[in-house]
Structure formats: C-alpha cells, structure tokens
Structure 1
Amino acid sequence: MATWPEPDQGDYHIPNFQFVEGTSLPDLRIHYYTFGKLRNDSHGKATNAVLIMHGTTGNGTNFFNDRFAGQLFKPGQLLSAEDYFLVLPDAIGHGKSSKPSDGLRATFPRYSYEDMVRAQHFLLAEHLGVNHLRLVMGTSMGGMYAISSLDLWHSWVWGTRYPGFMDAIMPLASLPSQISGRNRMMRKMAIDSIRDDPEFMDGNYRIQPRGLRAALHVLAWMSSSPLRWQNQAPDRESADKFIDAWMEAGMRQQDANDFAYAFDASRDYDPRPGLKNISATLIAVNFEDDQVNLPELQILETEIKKVKQGKAVVVPISAGSAGHGTHTVAVVWKEYLADLLEMSKSANNAKL
C-alpha cells in the first residue's frame, strides 16, 4: 500500500503544436500528475510549484515508489505535498502523452528536447497557472532538459530556455553537454538495431521487431549497476534469470517506434552555450557507478564552472547505489536537495 498521497491526473491538449523541425500536430496531448495545491503571493506569483521530469522511455509514474515519493512527498519530508504543488508530466512520446504508438507510428513528428520543454511550459503556464517554479528537477533525460531539465538532461534545458522562471534546479544523472562519445554510440546502436531490422517494416510492424530486443540489450548495459547486479545475481543461474526477466518486462512495456523516437530526441541537445545565463541556484548530482555519465570524463566538473550559482556533486558507490538508476533512490542524494532548497531560499531572499 502506498505511503504517499494519491496524485490528481489529467490531460492538456495543445492545438496545432509546432515542432522545431517544422512539422505539427493538430492536437498534442500532454498527460500529467499533480500533488498538493498551488499557492501564490500577494502579487500573483506562484511560490510553491515544483516540476519533476522523468527519463528516456519512462513516464511520471516512475516516481511513485518508496524510493522516491516515499522519501520526499509525505508530510514533513523535503517535497511534502502539504507544502508544495508537485507537477510530474509525461513528456512528448512517453507515457500517456501523444506518442508514435498512438497510431501515427513512424509518421509522428520527430520531436526533440526543446519540443518537450515548450510543451511542458504550455502545460504549466497556460493550463495549471504556474508562472514561477520554486524548483525544477529531472532524472537523466529529465535532468538534461531542466537546464535548457536529466534517463537524459531536461533540467539543464529549462535553465537556459526559461531563465528566471525558477529559483532552483537539480539535474540528476545527466551532463550539461552534447551527447557524444560512448553515450552517443550506445544510443545510435539502439536506434539502428530497431530501424535497420527488416521486421521493422518502416515502422509498420505487426508485432514488435526483434531489433527492439537488441535495443533493450543496449539499454540494459547503459542502466546497469555492476555492484548491485552482482549482489542480486551472484551466480550464473541467477544472472541468467535476472536478465531474462528484465528483457521480458522490457518487451512487454516498450514499443519499437516509441523507443527509437525517445532515444533520437537527444540528437540536438547541447546546453553549453546557455550555461552562463543560468541565474537559478543549481546543484547537479551524478553517481560514481553511472554507466551513462562516467565520472572519469570530468564533463560535469568542467561545465559547472560556467554556472554562476552552480555546484557539482558525484556521489561515491555505496550499498544503496543503483548505477544510473540512483537518480530515483532519494535516500542517497536527498541531503543535497535539502541544501539546494535552503541555498536557493537564501539567494531569493537576497534579491528582495
């Protein structure tokens, strides 16, 4: 039984949504979940809104578990639904929002992180009445577009796309840099495994093509946690059972078109030119055992220097680590969230 509050949920329809690459949809649906009630100050400015964004191939419900909501959303916790208005949208192409598998398949517009951010800004400003965010945070993809937000980097995108719209930014398991090196290679392998498969049939397959299984193998490698997986599967038989179950779940839950589109969305992500414009207080948290954002690359430590009020943290491997997925294990990093909320509160008060 859940120990956190039940969310409200709904759909926001954006008519004639124009995508960056020039295509459009007559009706773009953005599904969302909310906790708590929005509050405004005497000038009508929202004071308690928090935007939380999921990773690649995920959705807003990824946070509805004891590791995240159970650590943050309950009364007295850092993001208590009694104190904050929490907004958790399904990004374009994900969850219950408009996506290729709804029917358009491979003719669905080729969306990007910027399209995701714009759609979520419409949701907040036009539908939910949020004109300011106390905090924007994201895991992996959600972390990546939070800046320009991070399974990529949405937090970084929000900070550069809408400067001044938020007080604090927390990208988790992401990097403020173009997708390159091994990260890009793995993504390309996953996309090519799907689209180069003859069973893909230009996106018009009747059953999920075998290429999706190959793409899921890539995802398993990217999201793996060597220490945790060794503890969970300490011998050959348990290891085989573990990965077989992981793959079967992926084949049930994923769609080949949706998967390829989601991985392709990172193609033009690069928040580096806008990092110097971020005025919000920012703490970026990565993890030592993250197979996507390897700490030895030193990208986070280098780029964070461009953010005026930015700080980078790389959390060491521990018994609670889960590789890239540590972004949803709040007990590992919530002390930094507490620091961020306090630091941004002080910085905001200093501006008044």
Structure 2
Amino acid sequence: MTGQRDYEVFEAGEVTLQSGAAFPAMKLAYQTYGTLSPAKDNVILYPTSFSAQHFDTEWLIGPEGVLDPTRYFIIIPNLFGNGLSSSPSNSGDAPFPELSYHDAIAIQHRLLVERFGITKLALVYGWSMGGMQAYHWAALHPDMVERVAVVCGSARCAPYNYVFLESVKAALSGDPAFRDGRFVERPTAGYRAMGRVYAGWAMSHGFYRDELWREAGFTSLEDYLARAWDGAFARRDANDLLAQVGIWQRGDISRCKAFGDDLDRALAAIKAHILLMPGATDRYFDVRDNEDELGKLTNAKSAALHPIPSLHGHRAGNPVNNPPDHAFLKAEVAALLGK
C-alpha cells in the first residue's frame, strides 16, 4: 500500500481455516483508541459490520460517545473481506477461500494475546455482523469476555436473513461484470441494484411512511434512495462484498467442533453479562430471534433484551445523525459497563 496508513496490521502467517483450507500470509488490519491500562483490564473489542472499515464505525468512539477512549482501550479489528484485512481484492488472483466468523475470532484472539498480552475483555461490542462476532466471542471465549453487547445481531443467521442476503447477491451478481463466479470489473449497475434492495430491507415500513429521511436533509424519496443508497456499496470491491455475505450467511456460533451444531449448548457456554439490543423494527435481525436466545443464556452472569425503540430498522444500531437512538445505545452501554 502506498501513502500513510492509519491502521496497524497483524501478520498471522499461514493459517489453516475452519474449512480445512490453508490461507497463506493472512493479515488482520486493526486500529486502537485510548490507552491500555497497566493491568490490561480496560479493553473493549469492537468488530466491524458488513462492508465497513474501522473509520466507518469509529464515530461511536469519543469522550461523549458510546465507547469512551479516555477510560477504555478500544480495538477495532477489521473483518476479513472488508478490503483492509485479507480480502479477495488484496489476496491475488487465486480463488478466495470460504471464511467463517470462527476463523475471524481465532485471528482476533491471536492479535490480543500475541501483540498485547490481553487475557480479559471488559466488553465486546458490535453491530450487525459485528454483533454476530461479539456473540461468537462470548461463546468461544467465555472466561475471557466479561460483558457483551450484541446490537442488531444474532447467534446465527436466521433463514429469513439468509434469504435477504440471497437477494443482495442476486442484485449485485446480475451485472454483466460477473463472470465465472467472480467480478472481472466494477459492476456499476449491480452496485445500484444492491443499494435499492438494501434500502427496502435496512429501514422500516414506518421510516418510509413517516418520511424520516427528511430529518437527514433529503428532499424527496428518490433523492434519499439515490444519494443514500445507490452508491452505498460502490466504495467496496464487489468480490469483497460477496466474501462478506458468505461469512454472514454461514454465521452460527455453534458451527464448530466445540459445540457440534448444538445452538443451545453454545448459548449455555456464555458466562458474560450479555445485553441483546435488536432494533425494534429491524427486519432481518428479528427481535424474535433474540427472544428465543435469551431463554437459553442459562449460565450468563446476567442476560437482558432491550430492543431499540426506533423506526430506523436495522440502522437503529448504527445511528449516525440519529440522536435519539444514539442516546439509547449510550445509556444502555454505560449501564452494562457498570455491572
């Protein structure tokens, strides 16, 4: 890479993936905020969401933000497939292997232990795909994770969520630039189609009914769709997007040797204080999935379900320019950190 990088890279070397495939020279890009305490007990891990890089989500970090870097040492690990960590776009022409959240958490764990000597996490906080990673952390490293906040996320990808992602893949790969299983050039029409599909799923019926897009300064529904969604994914490599969709669709905390596809067993392994914050109107991470999970968190120190009371659908969990939802998240996380 040329120019000044605003992040660090953990070189994981050759890694054997959960699928059994070998990944040569695996790289995990990350950024840190704040100062690690001498006791190394003030760490918050904040994994990235779909297509996001750390600078897309770091707005949540600040003295007045949801995550306070004056008190905590916050690490954002970039999920594989996001263009900074190992991704199709930066891994040469060989077919990119299937990755899982389990693969991601394994390398994130190595980063914490090998680079920082961290053995305790005060909090794992994540939204959407980040929330799914937070859930994986809580199940796979129950003695390391003290608290977890799963924001608009779930323990596994629900069938309805899977179908939504099939529509996203179909919209993107319908572009003529998709040939023989990969994109050979930028799919301009595919990006726009994907954005239009996403716009319907990501926001709620009430968001559009009440024209809440006006609060963000859009002048019409078409203005909102064109400016907020048509180019929303064009900033990312299309092969990277497909790689991340695959990780998302395969997401399941129990899909590993330790739990043998037994979701109840995986949920019962969690010992942390766990806070589930679905969006009340989120259509693909449905509140009902978290309700089902709640009763099975039998060994958690505490388990709470606090839906975000918002018409912003899935985006309630990433409330840029949305002060009420931001305030809700901030208050909930402060209470969780007080436990």
Q: Distance in 2 between matches of 1:95 and 1:306?
A: 36
The aligned runs of 1:252-331 (5 Å cut-off) are 252-271=234-253, 272=263, 273-295=265-287, 298-307=288-297, 308=299, 309-317=302-310, 322-329=312-319, 330-331=326-327
| Pairwise CA distance, 1:63 | 2.2
Within-5 A mapping of 1:140-159:
140-144=128-132, 154-159=133-138
Q: Which moved more, 1:265-274 or 1:166-175?
A: 265-274
Q: Structure 1 unaligned segments of length 5 or more: list them.
A: 1-6, 145-153, 344-352
CA distance in 2, matches of 1:16, 1:313: 41
The equivalences for 1:59-98 within 5 A come to 59-65=53-59, 68-69=60-61, 73-74=62-63, 79-98=67-86
Alignment partners' CA distance in 2, 1:24 and 1:331: 44
**Which ranges in structure 2 are unaligned for 5 or more consecutive residues?**
254-262, 320-325
User: How has the CA–CA distance of structure 1 residues 63 and 176 changed in structure 2, closer, same or farther, with 3 Å as cutoff?
Assistant: same
Rounded to whole Å, the distance in 1 between the matches of 2:138 and 2:131 is 10
Compared CA separation, residues 201 and 163, structure 1 to 2 (3 A):
same
Q: Return the TM-score normalized by structure 2.
A: 0.84
Question: 2:91 aligned with 1:109, yes or no?
Answer: no
Give secondary structure in 1 for the equivalent of 2:19.
coil
Percent identity between matched residues is 23
AA matched with 1:57: S
2:331 counterpart SS class: helix
Aligned length: 312
| Higher-helix-fraction structure | 1
Matching residue's letter, 1:74: P
- Report the aligned-residue RMSD: 2.5
Q: Distance in 2 between matches of 1:176 and 1:194?
A: 26
Per-residue deviation, residues 97-144 of structure 1 (Å, max 9, x unmatched): 111112536711211111111121111111232221111111111111
**Structure 1 residue 250 corresponds to structure 2 residue 232:** yes
Aligned partners of 1:114, 1:106: CA distance in 2, in Å?
Answer: 22
Task: State the alpha-carbon separation in 1 of the partners of residues 72 and 42 from structure 2.
Answer: 5
Contact 1:50–1:86, Cα closer than 8 Å, also in 2: yes
Q: Which amino acid aligns with 1:268?
A: R
In 2, Cα distance between equivalents of 1:9 and 1:336: 29
Aligned equivalents of 2:20, 2:173: Cα separation in 1: 23
Instruction: Report the counterpart of residue 50 of structure 1 in structure 2.
Output: 44
- Shift in CA distance, 179/78, structure 1 to aligned 2, threshold 3 Å: closer
CA separation in 1, counterparts of 2:6 and 2:191? 33
Distance 1:25 1:209 in 2: 30
- Counterpart in the other structure of 2:14: 16
Letter in structure 1 aligned against 2:52: G
Range with bigger deviation, 222-231 or 169-178:
222-231
